[in-house]
A and B are shown apart, each in its own frame.
Chain A
């Protein structure tokens, strides 16, 4: 059914807001008449004005709210009032669908307060419990906790939550003529024909930032080879940029802190390539069609937040621990320095020359990073293809299998053929067995409820389900390869709502069924025999 008013909640930074554009386009396909609004943080909301398809941008002033709360005392009441007024404004719009793209407990409570009928993403029950509506939102949350196997780009989660399908979509940012005019003088001194490579020096956290000396070395190499280097970044990066510019010497233009968000789009549109970590400007470059040479280390993973367009080159540190979990602070971030400037310089030059053969050669000989080329699969989903002759690692094999498996499970895709791998499939088989037990148990429970069995019987089922679920979660804890499946199952259980025990039993049965099917499919995709097949086999021999 087509929605009339849709609210997107995205209180993250401007890179994430830019990545909302394909979801907006998808919503537009499914709900052509709907008014689509976005709730965004005031500091970054301007970027939404240039995203096509959005009818309204509602700005929430988190700085003001934070200021009131830090002040405390009576000002806390003002903070309360501010939230009340925001709720009143949003409720007045009577939205019938909401997509929460900010996966946090804070926005979950907020969605609960809004009480919009069709919420996708994190929300809250009337009792104050967190729920995650929509399977792709649950998958995203599960993947955030198991990042080694992250197999979809954030944009594709957003798109799936928006209804999915709708063909290939891309990040969009409409650069205005005024913005182009404003940035034109900034690089007017660069001779015609001289190619400009921009460096985004800063990042939201130090661990996401490539060292200054590496940028200096890269800048010198590029300048020496006839490229103009343009340094970009926010006001907070100006000191760093000045130092880097000074060290590079000739052939560098320091534009740090000289552009607003709209002008940054125009500037990135003007340059020939951007070298950056996983940052907001990276997504801006994608949105204006500028190639990216992306440096991924620390918590950044090219698989889930890489640049959502074709033919970008990504270098991912080979540290066995990469990527970091979102919730950890690494005290030994050696992966930042693993990616060397020489390799990056070679990647920049080859990419600007569109020389993928050179990039393949580079990827084959480079030991400190794996190189990827971005692109899209047949369903229009982002994918990273490894460059060069590099044997797949077990994690890569599991990630690939997961990608196929989730498409089977959530998008009803056909099960592709498995390939022989070195991955231990026993944990998947064990999980499948537990899930089948659960399926049987839930079916029996549903039958017992329908036959009005005594409460003691129902309670006994409840206890058995509890024990079984604990075993399933423990399986995920013991075997990281299956943890995405068990986490997905856990979120699914947490999101069951209602008082109708027969219905809950049926929904529970489906969760076990999906878990069994997921584990079975993984076993098959990883080149093994499934539990069910083995059971059949055993049966034949009895």
Chain B
């Protein structure tokens, strides 16, 4: 299938790299090219027609009319069309919309067929061509007020490339430059609690106005309910009343702060009534359920009252959620905070205190109590709480099983030669053979540059591979891998380094939250598109990127609003001489405090 000469010429001039990809793209047998009675080419893929079989032009015009109306209503100056088909609808849109048009078609074979069967030279001159489903930073922020339009026939094709592209482009276009106000609601206690803090930090670092509602202070009160010595049924009622009070408090916070999004972490005490009220107040309700859905089952009561429900499990978990909730569901694994979980230079005393050959940091769940007996002949230390009555393990349990601070656990991670990371289970003897989600410790150890032997999890492979972590499928293998890597530091140390690089590149909370917001904001694009767009660091870098100024700005996320507070916040904590841009922004900040704060107030 040869590209038409006029198309080739334009493409060669505008996007030579794309031309070489498109020209050699293999056209699968599932592509069925036809012709209408009037001689217009048509395409169906796997039986799904991409145009009206008899009137593709008219079909394109109808789509374009609706699209142009939506663009005008949103005041958009740029349209991103996901799905090319044979280009009829894009041609029609180009006649009706004067702004920039970006065409995202992730399948090079579709490009090849379109450019071989139709004269699209004029269109190629007019539009910006994108092959990647995920927008680059530049492509995503190239213009203000972008609206992303999905071409429905393409979205119906098998696979998720088009839907992924639609979500990614919508998220980027709507998210970048929009500063959201987000209220993060923590639980009172438990494993989700620190993640709420990391989440709030990450959102703030991404430039969003973040209010962190830390409910840990209410845990003592919750625990104190025991003192009434009530019967079980009454106790449950008391706990529900307590949750009602906290829920009402969160509603009060929503009224006071008027956030765009309320992001709750698993076990945040938001009752159905509170969630309904929050929805009535206009905030988008989002849950990041960073717990095992099989163990904590209260989601059944609340999931129906969220607009978005992110989980660390998919498959079976999503099937169960669909049964009780119409919320948008998405998989979003845990992550780590590079400011907290990082490599440390330990003193000799610290190395002595926290080091050793093998370490485990975590709570004494049943499977761990059983599994870790196999390691007792090694230099093995267990740190963490809930190990009471652990029998044989008692002599390796440090500090009588006291709870550890995060900072101390980071020291242990850094000090131990091999860190064991056995996912918890309350009902398996050793390893959960069907364990799916990946726990936070996996990312945190990797973030520390610490070596770990972990148990295999169904969802681990896309996140880390065997060249980065030692992955065991049984406790015997965990033991064998531990011995092997203890004896081979030349393998162990580079592996830990690779794991850290991977974690930094893909698994920070900032990246996770960026993805979460891409989904939420992308799907709510009309709600957020109308907001005034804030100039971002990325916008300014496009205007001026040279020298010290460019270097200074490059350290910030491109999506960070270009505001003094955001730019200056990091300066007091730094060490060494200030660069000129730092000092000038500091001057402007002082000027702002001296003269402008009062005017603004």
Contacts and interface: CB of A to CB of B under 8 A. Distances in A.
Interface of A: 62, 65-66, 69-70, 72-74, 76-77, 79-80, 83-84, 87, 104-106, 108-110, 112-113, 124, 126-128
A126 B583 CA distance: 9
B437 to A, nearest CB: 41
B539 A128 contact: no
Interface stretch (B199-207, B363-371, B584-592): B584-592
Nearest to A112: B583
Interface of B: 534-535, 539-540, 543-544, 549, 562-564, 571-572, 575-578, 580-588, 590-596, 599-600
- 3 residue pairs, one from A and one from B, having the closest CB atoms: A73-B535, A106-B590, A126-B577
B588 A73 contact: no
Given A66-B595, A109-B587, A128 B571 contact: yes
A104 B590 contact: yes
Nearest to B177: A73
Contacts of A74: 535, 539-540, 543, 562
Contacts of A87: 584
A110 B591 CA distance: 10
A69 B540 CA distance: 15
A104 B578 contact: no
Contacts of B535: 72-74, 76
A113 B587 CA distance: 9
Contact of B586 (A79, A109, A126): A109
A73 B563 CA distance: 7
| B interface secondary structure, majority | helix
Given A74-B540, A80-B585, A128-B571, A105 B590 contact: yes
Nearest to A113: B583
Contacts of B600: 70
Given A66-B595, A66-B596, A127 B587 contact: no
B499 to A, nearest CB: 35
Contact of B594 (A73, A77, A104, A126): A104
A73 to B, nearest CB: 4
Given A74-B540, A77-B543, A69 B591 contact: yes
A84 B571 CA distance: 19
Nearest to A63: B595
A83 B576 contact: no
A126 B590 contact: no
A121 to B, nearest CB: 15
Contacts of B571: 128
Given A69-B591, A76-B588, A83-B584, 8 more contacts: A69-B596, A76-B563, A77-B543, A84-B584, A108-B590, A113-B587, A124-B583, A128-B582
A108 B587 CA distance: 8
Nearest to A109: B587
B223 to A, nearest CB: 39
Given A73-B535, A127-B577, A109 B595 contact: no
A87 B581 CA distance: 12
Contact of A106 (B539, B572, B594): B594
A516 to B, nearest CB: 34
Given A73-B562, A77-B540, A83-B588, A109 B576 contact: no
A110 B578 CA distance: 13
B580 A113 contact: yes
B596 A126 contact: no
Instruction: Kindly name the residue among B534, B543, B588 whose own CB sees the greatest number of chain A CB atoms within 10 A.
Output: B588
Contacts of A126: 577-578
Contacts of A79: 588
A124 B578 CA distance: 10
B58 to A, nearest CB: 44
Given A84-B584, A104-B590, A124-B583, A76 B578 contact: no
B578 to A, nearest CB: 5
Nearest to A105: B590
Contact of A62 (B564, B572, B595): B595
Given A66-B596, A74-B562, A80 B583 contact: no
13 contacts: A62-B595, A69-B564, A74-B535, A74-B540, A76-B535, A77-B540, A77-B562, A106-B593, A113-B583, A126-B578, A127-B576, A128-B571, A128-B578
A395 B586 CA distance: 39
Contacts of B585: 80
Contacts of B596: 66, 69-70
Contacts of B564: 69, 76
A73 B534 contact: yes
B588 A69 contact: yes
Nearest to A127: B577
Contacts of B587: 83, 106, 109-110, 113
A74 B549 CA distance: 15
A480 B486 CA distance: 65
B335 to A, nearest CB: 31
B599 A109 contact: no
A108 B583 CA distance: 10
B599 A70 contact: yes
Instruction: Kindly name the residue among A62, A73, A84, A108 whose own CB sees the greatest number of chain B CB atoms within 10 A.
Output: A73
B560 to A, nearest CB: 13
Contacts of B576: 127
B591 to A, nearest CB: 5
Nearest to B533: A73
Contacts of B586: 109, 128
Nearest to B592: A69
Contacts of B534: 73
Contact of A80 (B539, B563, B584): B584
Contact of A76 (B562, B593, B594): B562
Contacts of B562: 73-74, 76-77
A106 B591 CA distance: 6
A127 B576 CA distance: 5
Instruction: Kindly name the residue among A65, A76, A83, A84 whose own CB sees the greatest number of chain B CB atoms within 10 A.
Output: A76
B539 A109 contact: no
Contacts of A73: 534-535, 562
A66 B582 CA distance: 19
B579 to A, nearest CB: 10
A62 B562 CA distance: 21
A196 to B, nearest CB: 36
B583 to A, nearest CB: 5
B597 to A, nearest CB: 11
A129 to B, nearest CB: 10
A72 B567 CA distance: 13
A83 B544 CA distance: 16
B540 A113 contact: no
Nearest to A77: B540
A128 B575 CA distance: 9
Nearest to A84: B584
Contacts of A69: 564, 588, 591-592, 596
Contacts of B593: 105-106
Contacts of A84: 584
A440 to B, nearest CB: 32
Contacts of B584: 80, 83-84, 87, 113
Contact of B591 (A65, A77, A113, A128): A65
Contacts of B563: 72, 76
Contacts of A105: 590, 593-594
Nearest to A76: B562
Instruction: Kindly name the residue among A69, A112, A113 whose own CB sees the greatest number of chain B CB atoms within 10 A.
Output: A69
Nearest to A128: B578
